[in-house]
């Protein structure tokens, strides 16, 4: 709910949302209610975590700590730009940032990815074969070195995020008047909405097969990963605003996919309606219903 109201608020004219906020009406009322609920839940968990830290008397030291504990223990002398970790607002904002940017985006990307795999069994077979060819262990987990070998898997993940970007749009503001590469004039202080969902499907950018799920478009002739400019593939933003957690997110997704495909056959239940829902995060409106069955690898003949 919170990201949906945030999304709608971004699209509203500034004067309108300010008026709604002042009067407590419309989407701003819903946003206020969602914020109050989120504050209440966060306050509960922050208080519980503080009590847990006091009881543990610093037994945990880095390894095994969760993110909230780590932020509570931050050295403010070392990180002068940060607010005090004892400030609940700082911790609340940190929780929100990690939920929106670090959890929901990854969950959304994986949901669309597994749905696309269900529609493209040949891609599933190729990913499994790549895992086998690189001798990735099934039970002991995989380090970064092993995951980096999975070029085709990363290409398939990028292709899924091209068609279904976890963040469906972004907003930019112009400091000064400018002219876009397309020739469109932009006045100072203008709001520019970039729809990543549409950008990833433009034939002028991606070719006539732009609507096809085709991981091979990300593979070079030598079998390496093709690195398109971030201004073309904006799933992780671009330039100095590139997502700080990009490599972590890719590692997480690869880890999840490998663990699942090594051990399960994912069957998407037929007949369900698959459609995106309006929101800051491009989630599935009705979720993705699947049946997981234990499996073992078969080599492609």
Residues in binding site: 243
d(CA 197, CA 117): 19
CA dihedral (254, 259, 262, 266) positive or negative: negative
| Residue 56: exposure state from Cβ atoms within 10 A (0-12, 13-18, ≥19) | exposed
Q: Contact at 8 Å (CB) between 231 and 255?
A: no
User: Binding site for heme: which residues?
Assistant: 243
| Residue 94: exposure state from Cβ atoms within 10 A (0-12, 13-18, ≥19) | buried
Q: Contact at 8 Å (CB) between 169 and 197?
A: yes
Mapped onto helix, strand or coil, the DSSP state of residue 212 is coil
Classify each residue of 211-240 as buried b or exposed e, where b means 16 or more C-beta atoms within 10 Å of its C-beta. eebbbebbbeeeeeeeeeebeebbbbebee
């Amino acid at each position: 709910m919170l990201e949906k109201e945030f999304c709608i608020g971004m699209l509203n004219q500034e004067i309108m949302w300010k008026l709604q906020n002042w009067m407590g009406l419309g989407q701003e009322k819903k946003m206020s209610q969602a914020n109050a609920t989120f504050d209440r839940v966060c306050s509960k968990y922050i208080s519980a975590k503080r009590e847990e830290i006091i009881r543990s008397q610093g037994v945990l030291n880095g390894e095994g700590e969760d993110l909230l504990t780590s932020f509570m223990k931050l050295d403010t002398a070392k990180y002068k730009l940060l607010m005090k970790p004892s400030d609940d607002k700082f911790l609340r904002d940190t929780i929100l940032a990690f939920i929106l940017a670090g959890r929901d985006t990854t969950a959304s990307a994986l949901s669309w990815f597994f749905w696309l795999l269900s529609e493209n069994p040949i891609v599933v077979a190729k990913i499994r074969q790549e895992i086998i060819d690189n001798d990735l262990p099934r039970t002991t987990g995989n380090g970064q070195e092993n995951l980096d070998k999975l070029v085709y898997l990363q290409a398939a993940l990028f292709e899924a995020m091209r068609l279904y970007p976890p963040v469906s749009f972004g907003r930019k503001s112009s400091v000064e008047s400018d002219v876009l590469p397309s020739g469109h004039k932009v006045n100072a202080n203008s709001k520019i909405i970039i729809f990543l969902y549409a950008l990833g499907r433009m034939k002028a950018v991606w070719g006539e097969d732009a609507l096809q799920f085709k991981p091979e478009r990300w593979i070079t002739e030598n079998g390496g990963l093709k690195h398109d400019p971030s201004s073309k593939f904006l799933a992780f933003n671009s330039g100095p605003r590139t997502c700080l957690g990009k490599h972590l997110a890719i590692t997480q997704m690869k880890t999840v996919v490998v663990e699942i495909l090594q051990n399960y056959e994912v069957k998407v239940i037929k007949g369900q309606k698959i459609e995106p829902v309006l929101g800051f995060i491009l989630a599935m409106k009705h979720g993705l219903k699947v049946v997981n069955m234990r499996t073992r690898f078969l080599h492609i003949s």
